[in-house]
Homo-oligomer: A and B are copies of this chain.
Amino acid sequence: MSSREQAIFRKYLERRGLKLTSERQALFDELFARHEHFEADELLVRLRTKHKKISRATIYRTLDLLVDSGIVGRVRIGESGYRYERLRAGEHHDHLICNECGRVIEFFEPAIESLQDEVCEKYGFLAISHSHQLRGICKRCRPRAARRQNEASHAEDAAEAAASRRRLRSVPSPR
């Protein structure tokens, strides 16, 4: 499987005199086993439970290589740290992220992409990458969220407010 990316990775290593170690291979395999989006520690746990002994530092180091080689993308989704995702060559997408269940939905809208290019041109800006994420409530979670909304609707008291302060942390860029 995934022999295409395998070849890219191999060549990438070769070209800069790096070695294809068993750890790198294991990480690569795990990654391409099925995961679209994942985080570094997730991989660590997964590999560890699969008998494979690997250190956290190596996870990060290898992930760096994969990102650099263009096989994997690094995104800042959610609160802390990075998330990684497999990149299909030449494809690009942006993200819808559910605040409720954490699900990440990918979308691609060519019209937005070309408008971005226009914006860049207007400012004389040379774009190298972009990240575009909408946060909210996904289709599946909307009923649940609405229900909760009702229950809490007249809880504007101080106790509730304190809690809400914390909850609100997850909104990156209000519109």
Interface residues of A (CB under 8 A from B): 15-18, 64-65, 67-68, 70, 73-76, 87, 92, 94, 96, 98-99, 105, 107, 109, 111-113, 115-116, 118-120, 122-139, 142, 145, 156-158, 161, 164-165, 168-169, 171-175
Contact = CB atoms under 8 A, between A and B. Distances in A.
Please state the number of chain copies in the assembly: 2
B123 A139 contact: yes
18 contacts: A17-B158, A65-B165, A68-B168, A73-B174, A74-B169, A96-B119, A99-B128, A111-B115, A112-B116, A112-B119, A116-B134, A119-B134, A124-B142, A126-B145, A128-B136, A129-B134, A132-B132, A132-B173
A112 B169 CA distance: 25
